[in-house]
Amino acid sequence: MYDIIVIGAGPAGITAAIYAKRAGANVLVLYNGESNVEKTDKIENYYGFKDGIDGQTLFKNGVEQAKNLEVVVRKEEVLGIEKIDNVFYIETTLKKYDSKAVIIATGNKNLKPDVKGISEFEGKGISYCAICDGFFYREKNVAVIGNGAFANKEVEHLKNIANSVTILTNGNQIKDKITEGLNVNSKPIKQIQGENKVQRVEFEDGSGLDIDGIFIAIGEASGLDFAKRLGIAVKNDFIIVDENMQTNISGLYACGNVTGGLLQICKATYEGAKAGISAVKFIK
């Protein structure tokens, strides 16, 4: 068992890992998606780089720095977090890890697709958690909006309950292996329609699909996706933390862009340091 698992390898996640490791913890960092830093051409406002630095180099240096301290860093997509009897279980596309504490530093990916009707029907047929809400759709026709392993995890749960499950990729390519024999519809979605609840998906080409419920699992799971499934308190699509980066779940911390505020590296590293120190205090 690891002491601490950090999800995300951007400035917040790596700083958290470095502080925790230097305080004597056994740390694993899991990441897959591109960090916002990696996508930044040139960073010219970060302390100490008088000529600026390109994002890719800064990201790579961070990961190397953590590895030099013997932090284990693995490029694996995280599909879900569970907490049972004070142990966290982190499922990736390859295996399941366990730890005493978890730090979420996944950045601020959009949780929702930009489709009319999604926000309007939240709780009225739009769901973010198949395990929580699947049973309301027994023998009904449901869809999962997504295109990868994360969406497939939701499908695997729903296929035993619902009458039919369709993957809606919303114009995106399927990225990973998905359940065989599944209905896949790749058309871009125009809007979700219904009277008081979800009843139909209308596509850009004018065609439609009658549906009773839609589960959202776009791309790779982000901090907000974990929050919806685990019950982490969220406000305005950002995870709520206290001054020690502690969420409402004991042993679970969040830092960096996922907590909102100033979306800057200096803020991410401060929060990463705080989360790393707090997580170490927690496990001791």
Asked whether 5 and 97 are in contact (CB, 8 A), the reply is yes
Q: Is residue 144 near another protein by the rule CB under 8 A?
A: no
Q: In whole angstroms, how close is the CB of 15 to another protein at the nearest point?
A: 27
Residues 190-209 that bind another protein (CB under 8 A): 196-197
Does 229 engage in binding with another protein (CB under 8 A)? yes
Contact between 10 and another protein per CB under 8 A: no
Calpha distance 152→163 (Å, rounded): 17
Residue 171, phi-psi category: left (phi > 0), alpha (psi -120 to 50), beta (remainder):
left
Q: What letter represents residue 12's amino acid?
A: A
Closer residue to another protein (CB): 113 or 134:
134
Among 34, 109, 133, 260, binds another protein (CB under 8 A): 133
Cβ-contact 264, 101 below 8 angstroms: no
- The Cα–Cα gap between 102 and 87 comes to 10
Q: How many residues bind another protein (CB under 8 A)?
A: 29
Q: Residue written as tokens 């916002």?
A: 36
Q: Are strands 164-168 and 141-145 parallel, antiparallel or unpaired?
A: parallel
| Contacts of another protein in 80-119 (CB under 8 A) | 82-83
Asked if residue 258 binds another protein (CB under 8 A), the reply is no
Q: Would you count residue 249 as binding another protein (CB under 8 A)?
A: yes
For the chain, the 3-state helix, strand and coil shares in percent, each to the nearest 5, are 25, 30, 45
SS3 7: strand
Stretch that binds another protein, among 106-114, 131-139, 182-190, 255-263 (CB under 8 A): 131-139
**Run of H or E including 92:** strand 87-92
Q: Does 123 bind another protein (CB under 8 A)?
A: yes
Site for another protein contains 233 (CB under 8 A): yes
Binding another protein by CB under 8 A: which of 34, 38, 91, 122?
A: 122
The whole-angstrom separation of Cα 284 and Cα 282 is 6
Which member of 65, 172, 193, 248 binds another protein (CB under 8 A)?
Answer: 248
Q: Which stretch binds another protein (CB under 8 A): 21-29, 48-56, 89-97, 128-136?
A: 128-136
Least spacing, CB of residue 127 vs another protein, in Å:
5
**C-beta of residue 225 within 8 angstroms of C-beta of residue 150:** yes
Q: DSSP character for 116?
A: B
Report if residue 135 touches another protein, rule: CB under 8 A. yes
Return the number of other C-beta atoms located less than 10 Å from residue 102's C-beta. Answer: 27
136 binds another protein (CB under 8 A): yes
Of residues 12 and 234, the one with the C-beta less far from another protein: 234
Q: What are the residues binding another protein (CB under 8 A)? A: 82-83, 122-129, 131-133, 135-136, 196-197, 213, 228-235, 240, 248-249
